[in-house]
A and B are shown apart, each in its own frame.
Chain A
Amino acid sequence: MEKIDTGPDNGPEFQRYRTLYEMLLEAIPSSVLLIDQDLRIVSVNRNFLEKNRRTLPDTIGRRLDEVFPAIIIDQMGFAGRIRQVFEKNFHIKGERMTYRAPGIPLRIYYYSILPFSWKGVVELAMLLMEDVTEQVRLSEEVRRVERHLASVVESAQDIVLSTDMEGRILTWNTAAERLSGFTLYEVREQNFFDLCAGDDLGEMENVFANLRAGRNAQMAEWDLKTKDGGRVPVSWIFSPMKDHLSQTAGVVAVGRDLTERRKFEAQLLQSQKLAALGVMAGGIAHEIRNPLAVCSSAAQFIMEPDISQEFRQECAHKIHAGVQRASMIIENLLRFARPSVKTDPKEINLTRLLEETLSLVTNQARIQKIELHSQLAPEPICINGMEGLLQQTFLNLLLNAIKAMPDGGVLGIDLGKTESEAWVSISDTGHGIAPGDLNNIFDPFYTTAPAGQGSGLGLSICYSIVKQHFGTITVDSEERQGSKFTVRLPIREAEAA
């Protein structure tokens, strides 16, 4: 402004600059006011008038307190600040102002007061007001969404945690703190693997390698270590966390506490076992009463007076053998009926396990005039697994096969292996499965048996046990021809290698 030599006040040059000045002022998308030393408004642009619903005549020449609500003048200390600008040639920058005036929607401004000097003297003060209502609203919205997301994660019953690509923990929600006893502060930057009690580090690294390679969600069941030295069974889902460029930047793990489910599964297994025992009861009675009858007869012979020493010996041997046989049967049953304590997988000789399981049903099969054809490989076939659970699976399949042949038939049990897996197939020549039922037989509570004769849980339990062993169970069946169930289980790695 200083360079402009105005000449006569109404010259054409002056008029041109004046128009330019007004155009500039009107075009500025902020409110611009010029205020003199008496706090009167000297100039104002359209932006201010529109926002405050004022006209030029009732604004120009008015004092600040006639134009601005008194509350703003007071709160902002406007008068004092403007005076400072005049006296000290001083900029007041970037203050926030909440503009509440009657009849006008609430607005939020950033304002600055700048000195407007003429030849070194502050002639006027310029009040610049920028409306930031929208920006403030947006950032509040962003904060609200952030708070909402955080509260979703924090309120979740499931563990929600995030790690970097190497597995170092970045966040850890309340559920994770509650289940593990560790606070975020204690686990931050720690490797997630170190907090898992599983001994299969290779498997864990594999999951993260897959995520790094861009693969989708990975699932696993690993125990979580707790602060008090215990462990909690957890079912995990790991998902890649993408950044704004869709690059995998980290991993989100959601984990669900399996304690309750494990308890329920154990109860289910146990009730299913008792049901299996019910099916076997007839065979068991027969099997035990035979040796009992032999013992009883031999004992009665011994009680007779004049018998030979040799015959007495023979009777004693029969009694001894009979008692042993009966107690063997009872021991097998007890071992089966006892709740299987879920232990870590150990090496199992499938050949021996199948022989033992077969011995539990041999009698039931004989009663139903069922021929047993078993081809168990002579050499032991070993896998890693939970013996009690696998025995329950095979027993279920054997009892199903026997049940399918009320009028006799052939029960086949085969065991073999390939390089990577062992397979057991159990076949019958019974009534078979209707094609319409084949898709459902592994579903819980699906049964074609009349009420009271089958819970529909047996095969679903077999299925879940085989899954737990990372195996598969399949069925081939033809109506009136028979069924064949095949269980495939991975051979333990040491042997496969």
Chain B
Amino acid sequence: MSDQSDLILIADDEPDLCWALEHLLHNQGLATRRALSAREALDLMEQHHFSRAFLDAKLPDMDGLELARRILEIAPDIRIIMVSGYFYRDDVSIQDAISQGLIHSFISKPFLQEEILKVLNA
């Protein structure tokens, strides 16, 4: 079992995507919590202490970057990784979000397992 510092939040409205990330992270011995909306993610943030969060860029009730901002208000130490099929890595809004420290890194869908593992170990 992992300790509290290795608990990871996964926020994506696509359950199969949560499934894929969960499986990958569980193989690394990490524990996860799943949120299918921004509302659920913020609720989980109130209940748990997460070391990292994988966020989709477009959630039905909130923009991923806005969710990142709210999450950082609750837990300023968290590392946020955006996983999206909507943006490109060199999109201005992504570059801005990284330089502002809003997100730690960006991974585009579809992704390789190594990319996820790399940001975990970074």
Contact = CB atoms under 8 A, between A and B. Distances in A.
Contacts of B13: 366
Contacts, number: 67
B86 A367 contact: yes
Interface residues of A, number: 23
18 contacts: A282-B86, A286-B58, A286-B84, A286-B86, A287-B85, A290-B85, A292-B85, A293-B17, A293-B85, A297-B24, A298-B20, A301-B20, A301-B23, A318-B19, A318-B20, A366-B58, A367-B86, A369-B61
B113 interface: yes
Given A286-B58, A290-B17, A367-B58, A296 B111 contact: yes
B96 interface: no
Given A290-B85, A367-B86, A297 B113 contact: yes
Contacts of A369: 60-63
Which 6 pairs show the lowest CB-CB distances between chains A and B? A289-B85, A297-B20, A293-B109, A296-B110, A293-B110, A294-B16
Given A293-B20, A294-B14, A367-B58, A300 B112 contact: yes
A298 B108 CA distance: 16
Nearest to B107: A293
Interface string B8-21: 00000110110111
Contact of B113 (A289, A300, A321, A322): A300
A295 interface: yes
A292 B110 contact: yes
Interface string B86-101: 1000000000000000
A4 interface: no
A297 B58 contact: no
A290 B20 CA distance: 11
A398 B107 CA distance: 31
A341 interface: no
A367 B13 CA distance: 11
Contacts of B86: 282, 285-286, 289, 367
Contacts of B21: 297
Nearest to B21: A297
A44 B86 CA distance: 111
Interface in B65-107: 83-86
Contact of A290 (B23, B109, B113): B109
Contacts of B113: 297, 300
